[in-house]
Structure 1
Amino acid sequence: MIVISRSQLEYIAPSSEAVISGVKHISSYNWIDAPTPTIVVPGAPARWNPPKGPQDLAADSGDIYEAQYAARKLDCPLEPLFRSVHAEHDAFDLNAVDVVTDRGNIRKLLSFITLEPKKKKYFEGFTIYVEVVQNTALFCRDEAVTAESGRDYGFWGHGCEFEKAYTVPRVAGSTAHHRVISYQFGGLHFLVRHETDGYVEDTGDSCGSVARAMQGLVLAPTTAPTRMAGSTLSVARGGEVVPLCATLEIKTHTIRYMLTFSKLAARQLWISQTPKLVRACHDRGWFEEPQVEDVTAQIQQWEADNQPILKKLAWLMQRIVVLTKASPGGRVRIKCHVPGDKLVISPYDGPKLLPADLYAKWTAKAPSSRPTSPAAAKETAENAQQNTKRVNGTGIGQSTAVTSMDPTAAHFHFGLPTPDAAKGGQDKTPN
């Protein structure tokens, strides 16, 4: 077991910038109402279609999905992500991917890094499972709650009713649209899945022309759902790919709680690189006309202003990947208990994160044969050297290094990679 405390992260100071680059759309899908778990690939998000003038909306009611896959009794939460990727790209190279995760996992790790003492009473603990397949780390959050009802709390807000009034579904029977994007961050190649609230068709550029061509279409699946042997998930073809540049995040808030960009939206939009935002303010359900904001520049500015936080996030992601590779069986469980002062990382021998057939999508190519750029190798070495100097001078350098998880723990100086990991090679796993 290894423990990483928030206070120890103060001594981490990578030299390079922690920025997202090389963003690409990979795949997408919609969950649809069906007797068995079913997705439509590529699907399409709802179209932004606001009514004119102010609107008086009822409060949300009924069940609200917190985790579609769990509420639908899907055995492997990451399965829809991989099914959609391989439906769109039959020969997609998973060996080139370092991390596969939902946006929510990154948000949880950011909340751990930045938690303020005055907000600890609102903090909810979390659990993330990580499994390494060849050189790829799969992150999967344990969702204790799958679906909740407004009746359980007396009031849920107006978010769902707002989306019903201001957007038009594009896929018949859809309950949610999810997208998978790829990018580079902190020296790692990510695949990130996130939910998309909608898209804007009138953006006045080439991106908008693609979205406008889809106006008015309600898309039904074009093929009958099929299911792989051993899987509980059915996959149908249907919908149209909407470009990332047209996608939209919707946030509703009361007039008594002003939603600043940096307060909530920034982290969420930064992780998914969603360029459009609607902040819909209401007074007991009375909404004035909302506006669509292009927040691309604000996301970039937030990234520049929050480098100390993002450098810690980059280091933490790298550290988790290294520890998982060193763990028996290549699997760990990350737990953050209330009040959220530390992450406890321990070996895990529970269920696998994917159905058996998906593991075959990784080729037999050795992870160590992946090319490493000279710049990346230099960055890793510089960061390790700087962090070793900082941590060793604090007197806490050995506080988290003693562990039965990794026989090379003596080579760690408060979470620094082993020499093998720094060179990009595959860590040794105990017998």
Structure 2
Amino acid sequence: MVHNTLFIERCEMHPEFLTGQGGSRGFGHNFERAFTKFPSGENNNAGYHRCLRYHIGDLNCAVQFEVDARFGEPETTKIDAEAEDVGLSLARLTLAETKGGGGVSKESSLAPQSAVIEAKTLLADRDWDRDLPQLWFGRVPWLMIGRHDAGLFTSVDVVDTGPRLAEWEEDSQPQLRKLATLLTQLRQAVTMFGGRNCAAIHQPGGLSGPVIYVCESKLGRRALPDDFIQHAWAPAKGATGEI
């Protein structure tokens, strides 16, 4: 934690580990490569991530997600002064080196959220309802669906996700309220450990139902580098610990 801000990330032995896919990798990556292309000069990019800020219940959340592609004409939105200031501060950070030698590129403009599109592959007779939670949390307005029969693609459609996401949000209010409660309880649990690095372990079974255990991690690393914490949580920002 940083002040009262809780940072949550997936903890996996290998970054390519898949969840909820029944062990099948599917055809998604090849589909993306066939139907999308990188902007000029960015062919070596490993991926594109962005972060959206919105409320889940009473919690002010910043949600990071990966963007598959941009849909439509390459119109861009200028980064506002606050985002530009954060971008400049990120360029001066002291970050741990990665084994892959990768880096982060910063551009002066970005694709508007209204142009973000997710690419999915589905069997010909399958609906995309299981993808609704991912699309909702990323506020993704467009979905490109490649339908196939045992890997032979028969159609590619672009769908406006708005109506389905609105319906899903209305139907999922009980689950979203539970999520807000869970996030609050996780923050309280980490606070009991002095805000240090912790791990949340999900145990699905048991007589009383699934349980999430929170324990202190031995990794000992911080949520963010100290110089960024000093910049973003300066006294002028207020005592609440929110950016």
Q: TM-score range by the shorter chain?
A: 0.7 to 0.9
Correspondence for 2:137 among 268, 271, 282: 271
Partner of 1:286: 152
Letter in structure 2 aligned against 1:279:
I
Q: Which amino acid aligns with 1:355?
A: P
Deviation at 1:344, TM superposition (A): 0.8
Change in 2 beyond 3 A, CA 1:285/1:230: closer
State the partner residue of 1:136. 5
Partner residue of 2:97 out of 232, 257, 274 = 232
Q: Which residue of 2 aligns with 1:314?
A: 180
Name the % identity.
26
2:88 corresponding residue in structure 1: none
Q: Please say if residues 248 and 277 of structure 1, whose CA atoms lie closer than 8 Å, have aligned partners that are also in contact.
A: yes
Distance in 1 of aligned mates of 2:134 and 2:216:
29
1:177–1:197 Cα contact (<8 Å) kept: yes
Corresponding residue for 1:247?
A: 116
Q: 1:261 aligns with which of 107, 124, 128?
A: 128
- For residue 287 of structure 1, report the CA deviation from its aligned partner: 1.3
SS at match of 1:358: helix
Match of 2:239 in 1: 367
Distance 2:72 2:36 in 1: 12
Q: Is the 8 A contact 1:179 1:194 kept in 2?
A: yes
- Map of 1:346 onto structure 2: 215
C-alpha contact (below 8 Å) 1:266/1:299 kept by paired residues: yes
What is the DSSP-based 3-state SS (H/G/I as helix, E as strand, rest coil) of the residue aligned with 1:160?
Answer: helix
**Residue 267 of structure 1, CA deviation:** 0.4
Matched residue count: 213
Deviation of residue 330 (structure 1)? Answer: 4.2
Which residue number corresponds to residue 304 of structure 1? 170
Q: Is the partner of 2:6 in helix, strand or coil?
A: strand
Gaps of 5+ in 1: 1-131, 203-208, 212-225, 371-431
Partner residue of 2:43?
172
Distance in 2 between residues matched to 1:278 and 1:198, nearest whole Å: 10
TM-score by length of 2: 0.76
How far the C-alpha of 1:192 sits from its partner, in A, is: 0.8
Aligned position for 1:328: 194
Partner amino acid, structure 2, of 1:335:
I
Aligned pair 1:181/2:52, yes or no? yes
What's the counterpart of residue 71 of structure 2? 200
Instruction: Give the TM-score of the pair, scaled to structure 1.
Output: 0.45
- Cα distance, 1:308 vs. partner? 1.3
Alpha-carbon deviation of 1:338?
4.8
Larger Rg over CA atoms: 1
SS in 2 for 1:300: helix
1:12-49 CA-to-partner distances (Å, cap 9, x unmatched) read xxxxxxxxxxxxxxxxxxxxxxxxxxxxxxxxxxxxxx
* Residues 6 and 187, structure 2, Cα contact 8 Å, conserved in 1: yes
Q: How many angstroms does 1:227 deviate by?
A: 6.8
Q: Give the Cα–Cα distance (whole angstroms) in 2 for the partners of residues 227 and 335 of structure 1.
A: 35
What's the counterpart of residue 51 of structure 1? none
Greater RCO, CA 8 A, separation 6+: 1
**Paired residue secondary structure (2:117):** strand
Distance 2:146 2:5 in 1: 39
Match in the other structure for 1:64: none
- Quote how far apart the aligned CAs of 1:248 are: 0.6
Aligned CA RMSD, in angstroms, stands at 2.9
